[in-house]
């Protein structure tokens, strides 16, 4: 699980460059950043709702529980349906929204523990066993790399 | 109970051929998760593929990783429901990226709509303990190959 800033930087950059959006197309850039980060709103909801529990057990290593089914395959399906509905009106927007959202979901699957078939099945999967410290390092590296790539993108070097 | 959804009988001949091939292959004893990670990485890379031969190579490589993870898991690891879940979730994520990348073409748009159904079938599979999915990436590889010719 990455930080929202790391998701916003990496997933939106991948969506924009894959959909061939130009740096002056501000609307698509805003849509990409929102699509790449809006998913993390559900963490806020669960962290507020279950704050007493998190005060007891601590936040590190527990945030995979503070998420809704939208962080799983169900969310990917919902983003796919939204993208399919947007496609006839604006194919580029449909691509940007879906790819940004899908990259965020895939990043969280790859970097942490999840129940990807929730709410239908609660089986947990774990791609990697990174510690909280290692996740912070991955986060920082992601922000540095994609910060550089965003700079190149915005000055038109990509 | 750790129930793994069963594969449909219609896929048995195809799976038997792949299993026979898998037995002859020298497979490194690695965690199959590495093949899943590679499949997701390649599928994201596909978003940037412009040339048709590169697209064919990437989709072929993704299908190869799908086969290798299954063959490795069968040979060295105990089958589990968590392993099954990782496998199908990787397949759906991979398909999503591939068909989003191909949405500039009519075939890609149709496959994307079929992918939405495949996601629904994945939920049905774990609910009914009967694996049900359309081999969309394989179909896409054939479409790409025919278009390439």
Quote the ipTM score: 0.93
CA angle A19, B85, B1 (to 5 degrees): 160
Q: Are B123 and A98 within 8 A, CB to CB?
A: no
Residue B1 pLDDT > 60, yes or no?
no
Indicate the residue of B109, B113, B122 with minimum beta-carbon distance to A73: B122
- Residue in chain A closest to B111 (alpha carbons) equals A84
Residue B56 pLDDT > 70, yes or no?
yes
Give the A-side interface with B, CB within 8 Å: 14, 17-18, 73-74, 76-77, 80-81, 83-84, 87, 91, 94-95, 98-99, 102-103, 105-106, 109-110, 116-117, 120-121, 123-128
> Which candidate, B118, B9, B70, places its Cα nearest to that of A80?
B118
Could you report the per-residue pLDDT of A94-145, keeping only the tens digit for each?
A: 999 999 999 999 999 999 889 999 999 999 998 888 888 999 999 999 999 9
Distance from CA of A52 to the nearest CA of B (A): 30
Arithmetic mean of pLDDT over chain B? 92
Q: Name the percent of chain B lying above pLDDT 70.
A: 99
Please give the average per-residue pLDDT across A62-70, as a whole number.
78
**Residue B26, in any domain of the structure:** no
Residue B79 pLDDT > 80, yes or no?
yes
d(CA A23, CA A119): 38
Residue B108 pLDDT > 90, yes or no?
yes
Q: How many domains in chain B?
A: 1
User: What is the extent of the structural domain holding B76?
Assistant: 31-148
**Residue B24, in any domain of the structure:** no
**Residue B144, in any domain of the structure:** yes
The residue that leads in pLDDT, A48 or B87, is B87
**What CA–CA distances, in Å, run from A148 to A9, A13, A141, A143?**
10, 11, 11, 8
Indicate the residue of B86, B115, B116 with minimum beta-carbon distance to A125: B86
**Residue B75, in any domain of the structure:** yes
**What CA–CA distances, in Å, run from B111 to B56, B99, B131, B148?**
16, 6, 20, 18
- Residue in chain B closest to A98 (alpha carbons) equals B100
Can you point out the beta strands (E) in A106-149? 113-114, 125-126
**Residue B112, in any domain of the structure:** yes
- Are residues A102 and A12 in contact, defined by beta-carbon separation less than 8 angstroms? no
List all residues of chain B from 66 to 95 with a beta carbon under 8 Å from chain A. Answer: 81-82, 85-86, 89, 92-93
d(CA A82, CA A99): 12
d(CA B91, CA B70): 12
**Residue B2, in any domain of the structure:** no
**Residue B6, in any domain of the structure:** no
**Residue B121, in any domain of the structure:** yes
């Amino acid at each position: 699980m990455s930080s929202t800033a790391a998701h916003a930087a990496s997933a939106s950059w991948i969506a924009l460059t894959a959909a061939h959006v130009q740096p002056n197309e501000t609307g698509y850039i805003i849509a990409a950043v929102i699509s790449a980060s809006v998913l993390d709103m559900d963490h806020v909801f669960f962290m507020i709702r279950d704050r007493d529990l998190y005060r007891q057990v601590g936040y590190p290593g527990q945030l995979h529980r503070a998420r809704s089914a939208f962080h799983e395959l169900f969310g990917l399906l919902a983003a796919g349906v939204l993208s399919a509905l947007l496609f006839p009106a604006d194919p580029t927007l449909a691509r940007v929204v879906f790819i940004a959202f899908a990259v965020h979901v895939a990043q969280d699957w790859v970097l942490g523990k999840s129940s990807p078939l929730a709410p239908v099945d609660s089986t947990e999967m774990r791609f990697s066993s990174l510690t909280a410290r290692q996740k912070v390092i991955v986060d920082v590296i992601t922000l540095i790399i994609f910060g550089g790539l965003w700079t190149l993108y915005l000055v038109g070097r990509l | 109970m750790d129930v793994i959804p069963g594969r449909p009988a219609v896929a048995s001949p195809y799976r038997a051929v792949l299993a026979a091939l898998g037995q002859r292959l020298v497979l490194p004893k690695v965690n199959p998760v590495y093949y899943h990670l590679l499949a997701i990485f390649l599928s994201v890379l596909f978003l940037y593929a412009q040339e048709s031969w590169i697209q064919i190579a990437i989709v072929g490589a993704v299908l190869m990783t799908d086969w290798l993870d299954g063959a490795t898991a069968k040979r060295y690891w105990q089958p589990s429901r968590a392993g099954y879940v990782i496998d199908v979730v990787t397949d759906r994520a991979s398909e999503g990226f591939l068909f989003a990348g191909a949405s500039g073409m009519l075939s890609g748009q149709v496959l994307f709509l079929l992918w939405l159904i495949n996601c629904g079938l994945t939920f049905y599979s774990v609910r009914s303990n009967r694996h049900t999915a359309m081999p969309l990436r394989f179909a896409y590889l054939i479409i790409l190959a025919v278009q390439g010719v």
